[in-house]
């Protein structure tokens, strides 16, 4: 039943815009002629500075980045400047080129009819959830016969999708305004209380799950956060999946570097078998 | 692919140990899966051929994470030769490859007899043009490095493989030895048709905050541009020590890198780690070699082999 995934491409994409959005948060827009579209949860590999006769070799490896959203041939990435790779990416100016390989990986599966979707994003993990949220919110409105533009009543119907965003502090929050813009129900938690409620985003999830009824949890963020989401969902009998992050050299299943242990035995690859996994399939205690 | 350098005028074919290649660019074992993984990005018929992930008698699972670590202009890996096994490769992976793709199967095992058995099972399989014995994997405790580092063990391995197959037989050598030429001569003496060098360089990286090795396996193999000058030196030394052809590998990222290996005596090259960064790069390197030959008025790419001009003594 799932539609075939878009065929990935390898292209030297042109930077249209690459702006700091406060703190370490950045928003990159890339022109990608021939972009085949993507499914929620898919990612791309980006190599800044690697193009030309004498390609930069240090840092060597591309960086996996969730596709935040895309429109036509323009692809948007939200990222946090945190290491040498993302620092290099942050230096890419409009008109420069960045090698892109993607879209890659297996996407989120939609909720079953009657299930509430609970999207839990921690830090940069939010970037993996935007497209899922947008499609679910749009689908909820369509299903109920409402017009697609956000409106007061639309927000209510889109409430079948709850978006829970967490960060250490307000300046680390990503994408909040974008989620609000399509009328989704958004709740925020920060560890220092500088935005939303003080506490962890998993506290918000716990409260949502306590309302009862069929629910499906979609988690992306730091491993301890996702593991906590898995435990909370399991305790309530809710379905849950998580989009895992890992170091990888290729993104398309040949370096075998991004292995994670799975309950069925052996290892799965985050790039090829994920990045989305049912939380019950992952041996969380085996993650580094 | 612009054709600006009139590459049609250049004969790109080379013969590697009895394997006819349309051009000298292969992809290195362990960096190209079983071929199909890269097919969305690269027409596999643009390259000379591919070397498969190393195959063992039975399917093999790899090391726990972390398996890779970035290093200056390189990376460490300790995957531990995870693969589907020789039977599944022949039954499922090989038939899925498009026609016209030259396939060299990489063979790894933990004992001489098992190496020979894998060689036997691959011999006579249509589509397999040759075998490459991985005698040099630096991160498997019970095999790999011991074979490649001990001339007697290496000799017994090559002898057994030679008896087990009629296919062209390449032996991939370890750089983790004092005199690679000695190992090369052993292989030549036991009937190897060619040599591939180098495999990754044994290495260690440390997470200083946690005071632990980065890799779960502690040691890994360093690959990428960081090792290219080492590989080039070993190819050059070995090409002067043996008569059998050499396939050069180690940190090749551009056509110019590949040409350096040809000049230093390699008959063909393998692109490895760079496939991860750019899954279309092997095709671009093949085109770039042709353009180089045209630019320097070499009518045949094979005329570049060993064309290094040394300073007068």
Number of Cβ pairs closer than 8 Å across A and B?
A: 115
Distance of CA B55 to the CA centre of its chain: 14
Quick check: A223 pLDDT over 80? yes
Quick one: which of B181, B227, B179 has its CA closest to B202?
A: B227
| Nearest neighbour of B33 by CB, restricted to A60, A254, A259 | A254
Phi, psi dihedral angles at B164 (to 5 degrees): -85, -15
pLDDT in tens, B243-284: 999 999 999 999 999 999 999 999 999 999 999 999 999 999
Quick check: B139 pLDDT over 50? no
Chain A closest-CA separation from residue B289 CA (Å): 13
Instruction: Compute the distance between CA of residue A100 and CA of residue A43 in angstroms, rounded to an integer.
Output: 10
What's the fold here for domain A245-288? Answer: Dihydroorotate dehydrogenase B (pyrk subunit); domain 3 (2.10.240)
Higher pLDDT, B178 or B1: B178
Residues 6+ apart with CB under 8 A from A20: A26, A81, A90
**Which ipTM did the prediction report?**
0.92
CATH assignment of A116-243, given 3.40.47.10, 3.40.50.740, 3.40.50.2300, 3.40.50.80? Answer: 3.40.50.80
Q: How confident is the model at residue B136 (pLDDT cuts 50, 70, 90)?
A: confident
Once rounded to an integer, what is the mean pLDDT over residues B228-237?
98
Closest-CA residue in chain B for A85?
Answer: B70
Q: How confident is the model at residue B236 (pLDDT cuts 50, 70, 90)?
A: very high
Domain A9-104 has CATH 1.25.40.340: no
Instruction: Compute the distance between CA of residue A94 and CA of residue A189 in angstroms, rounded to an integer.
Output: 34
By the CB < 8 Å criterion, does B280 face chain A?
Answer: yes
Instruction: Compute the distance between CA of residue A220 and CA of residue B215 in angstroms, rounded to an integer.
Output: 25
Quick check: A144 pLDDT over 70? no
Q: How confident is the model at residue A37 (pLDDT cuts 50, 70, 90)?
A: very high
Instruction: Compute the distance between CA of residue B247 and CA of residue B173 in angstroms, rounded to an integer.
Output: 10
DSSP type of residue B9: G
| Nearest neighbour of A59 by CB, restricted to B61, B70, B82 | B70
Would you kindly state where each structural domain of chain A is located, as residue ranges?
9-104, 116-243, 245-288
Chain A closest-CA separation from residue B287 CA (Å): 13
By the CB < 8 Å criterion, does B276 face chain A?
Answer: yes
Quick one: which of A283, A288, A256 has its CA closest to A272?
A: A256
Q: What is the dihedral of CA B49, B53, B57, B63, to 10 degrees?
A: 180
Termini Cα distance of chain A: 35
Instruction: Compute the distance between CA of residue B53 and CA of residue A90 in angstroms, rounded to an integer.
Output: 35
DSSP type of residue B213: E
Q: How confident is the model at residue A145 (pLDDT cuts 50, 70, 90)?
A: very low
| A23: β partners | none
Residue B229, number of CB atoms within 10 A of its CB: 12
Q: How confident is the model at residue A53 (pLDDT cuts 50, 70, 90)?
A: low
8 Å CB contact of A259 and B62: yes
| Nearest neighbour of B277 by CB, restricted to A54, A62, A261 | A62
* B264 is an active site residue: no
The DSSP H or E segment spanning B50 is strand B49-51
Domain B7-58+84-202+224-304 has CATH 2.60.40.10: no
Q: How confident is the model at residue A155 (pLDDT cuts 50, 70, 90)?
A: very low
């Amino acid at each position: 039943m799932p539609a075939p995934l878009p065929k990935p491409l390898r292209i030297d994409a042109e930077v249209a815009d690459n702006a700091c959005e406060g703190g370490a948060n950045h928003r990159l827009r890339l022109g990608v002629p021939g972009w085949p579209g993507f499914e929620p949860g898919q990612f791309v590999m980006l190599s800044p500075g690697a193009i030309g006769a004498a390609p930069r070799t240090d840092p060597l490896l591309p960086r996996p980045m969730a596709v935040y959203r895309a429109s036509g041939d323009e692809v948007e990435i939200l990222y946090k400047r945190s290491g040498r790779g993302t620092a290099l990416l942050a230096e890419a100016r409009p008109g420069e080129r960045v090698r892109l390989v993607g879209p890659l990986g297996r996407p989120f599966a939609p909720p079953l009819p009657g299930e509430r979707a609970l999207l839990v994003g921690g830090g940069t993990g939010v970037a993996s959830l935007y497209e899922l949220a947008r499609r679910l919110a749009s689908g909820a409105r369509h299903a109920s016969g409402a017009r697609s533009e956000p409106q007061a009543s639309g927000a209510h119907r889109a409430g079948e999708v709850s978006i829970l965003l967490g960060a250490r502090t307000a300046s680390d929050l990503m994408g909040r305004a974008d989620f609000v813009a399509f009328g989704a129900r958004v709740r925020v938690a920060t560890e220092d209380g500088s935005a939303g409620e003080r506490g962890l985003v998993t506290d918000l999830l716990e409260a949502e799950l306590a309302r009862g009824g069929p629910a499906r949890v979609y988690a992306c963020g730091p491993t301890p956060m996702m593991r906590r989401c898995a435990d909370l969902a399991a305790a309530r009998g809710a379905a849950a999946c998580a989009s895992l992050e890992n170091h990888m050299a290729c993104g398309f299943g040949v370096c075998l570097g991004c292995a994670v242990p799975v309950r069925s035995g052996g290892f799965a690859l985050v790039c090829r078998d994920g990045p989305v996994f049912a939380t019950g399939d992952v041996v969380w205690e085996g993650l580094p | 692919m612009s054709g600006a350098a009139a590459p049609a005028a250049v004969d790109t074919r080379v013969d590697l140990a009895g394997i006819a290649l349309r051009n000298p660019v292969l992809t290195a074992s362990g960096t190209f899966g079983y071929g199909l993984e890269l097919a969305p990005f690269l027409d596999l018929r643009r390259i000379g051929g591919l070397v498969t992930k190393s195959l063992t008698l039975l399917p093999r699972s790899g090391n726990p994470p972390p398996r890779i670590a970035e290093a200056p202009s390189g990376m460490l890996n300790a995957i531990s030769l995870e693969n589907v096994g020789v039977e599944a490769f022949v039954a499922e992976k090989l038939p899925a490859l498009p026609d016209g793709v030259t396939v060299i199967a990489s063979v790894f095992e933990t004992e001489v007899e098992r190496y020979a058995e894998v060689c036997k099972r691959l011999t006579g399989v249509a589509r397999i043009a040759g075998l490459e014995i991985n005698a040099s994997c630096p991160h498997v405790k019970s095999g790999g490095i011991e074979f490649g580092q001990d001339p007697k063990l290496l000799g017994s391995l090559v002898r057994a493989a030679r008896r087990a197959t009629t296919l062209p037989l390449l032996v991939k050598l370890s750089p983790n030895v004092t005199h690679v030429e000695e190992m090369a001569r052993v292989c030549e003496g036991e009937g190897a048709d060619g040599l591939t060098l180098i495999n990754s360089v044994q290495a260690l990286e440390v997470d200083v905050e946690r005071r632990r090795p980065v890799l779960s396996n502690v040691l890994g193999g360093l690959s990428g541009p960081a090792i290219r000058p080492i590989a080039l030196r070993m190819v050059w030394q070995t090409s002067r020590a043996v008569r059998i052809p050499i396939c050069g590998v180690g940190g090749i990222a551009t056509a110019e890198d590949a040409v350096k290996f040809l000049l230093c005596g390699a008959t063909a090259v393998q692109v490895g780690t760079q496939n991860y960064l750019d899954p279309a790069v092997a095709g671009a390197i093949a085109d770039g070699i042709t353009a180089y030959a045209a630019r320097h008025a070499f009518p045949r790419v094979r005329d570049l082999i060993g064309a290094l001009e040394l300073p007068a003594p």
